[in-house]
A = this chain, B = another copy of it.
Amino acid sequence: MGFRILKKNKGARLGELKLGGYTIQTPAFVPVATKAAIKGLTAFDIEELAIQILIANTYHLNLRPGADVIEEFGGIQKFSGIDKPFMTDSGGFQAFSLGKGAILGRSKFEYEVENKPTKEASIAKINDEGVKFRSIYDKSEHILTPEKSMEIQHKIGANIIFALDECTPPSADYEETKQGMERTHRWAKECLSFHKKQNKNNQALFGIIQGGLFKELREESAKVITNMAFDGFGIGGSFGRNQMYETLGWLQPFLSKEKPVHLLGIGTIEDLINSIGYGMDTFDCVSPTMIGRAGYIHIRPESGGNKGNKYRIRITNAKFRNDPSPIDKNCDCKMCKRYSKGYLNHLFKAREFSAYVIASYHNLYYMINLMREIRKAIENNRFKELKEKWLG
């Protein structure tokens, strides 16, 4: 893996990340392919969309089809038919958040820390060894340790893998967050050590900075993690309401020129643009396809997209039933050139699968294209102007 920064502008970094035979232009959006597929799309769509890199989910893939199956196929690229670089997460977040057997909203997860039971009986239990959890599929018991996480991710064979971390919930107080962070640091060391021994496929390992809502802890975590021999870093955990930019500000002094930084599970268009201004290089988020399947269609600022409407329309709204205009007349994706709002409204109302395909494709194009515009803006010293255009 090689990374270099080509240019900086107003805090934003234009970079180039080399991974195996692939070159990724950063900042880059990393679409989520939880189960080794972007929901509703094919490998052909992924190529058409010029998606540069994807992130798959260690928790889900290890349960189904199993890491061994993917290894037999020669790794996730060969298994999925998607000839693009991949990341995998550590599996920890899902083990915590899905541990109770229910899919809870982001940042709403709770899990049982040793000797500190949550209100509800939880299936996931965490201690220094790792996370014990039950499969959401068949309730079978599993334990995810740093070694196990590395082992699974080595089998899946993504180009970038992540160290196991403890992602403390936003409700955690200072002491709890500190304990979680220290555990994250111990696990980071263990992951590095296992990775060194087992890494056969030239996979890059990223460490994750934790520390929750507390400046002192975030700084400590940044110092500890960036001093380890990771190939890059992830920023994880809770940021609290409106506190993300402050947190990213705390971390800026610790960013390295030689190593890329990945912001885990970024949420909105607004957060994406702003966090690039804090030097973030890559971002993953399930949002474009998830909101797409729910009928939310991203629209560009020229079409009225703004912070207030979250850059989207709800295509199922009755006012679009007779609307022959393109999905977004200012988008140049093939779906917008072909389809009207009225037809897409009909497909959603009729619950046709094609609705999900069209909406997911368009929303991903929108993100990928936004990133292209951002890279161009940084290159031309116009990141500030881009921010003004998009954020008002």
Contacts and interface: CB of A to CB of B under 8 A. Distances in A.
Interface of A: 35-44, 60, 64-65, 69, 72-73, 79-81, 321-322, 324, 334-335, 338-340, 342-343, 345-347, 349-350, 352-354, 356-358
Nearest 3 interchain pairs by C-beta: A40-B353, A65-B346, A35-B350
B73 A39 contact: no
B354 A321 contact: no
Contacts of A352: 35, 37, 39
Contacts of A334: 44
Contacts of A79: 340, 342-343, 346
Given A69-B346, A79-B340, A353-B357, 5 more contacts: A65-B346, A69-B321, A73-B324, A73-B343, A353-B353
A73 B35 contact: no
18 contacts: A35-B347, A35-B352, A36-B343, A36-B346, A37-B347, A41-B357, A42-B338, A44-B338, A60-B350, A65-B349, A69-B321, A69-B346, A73-B340, A79-B340, A79-B343, A81-B340, A353-B353, A357-B357
A43 B338 contact: yes
Nearest to A82: B338
Contacts of A41: 354, 357
A349 B334 CA distance: 30
Contacts of A321: 65, 69
A342 B73 contact: yes
Given A322-B72, A338-B43, A340-B73, A349 B64 contact: yes
Contacts of A343: 36, 73, 79-81
Contacts of A36: 343, 346
A345 B36 CA distance: 12
Nearest to A66: B321
Contacts of A358: 42
Contacts of A81: 338-340, 343
A295 to B, nearest CB: 15
Contacts of A345: 65
Contacts of A37: 347, 350, 352, 354
A81 B40 CA distance: 19
Contacts of A339: 43, 81
Contact of A69 (B42, B342, B350, B356): B342
Nearest to A289: B353
A370 to B, nearest CB: 23
Most B C-beta atoms less than 10 A away, residue of A80, A81, A343: A343
Contacts of A65: 321, 342, 345-346, 349
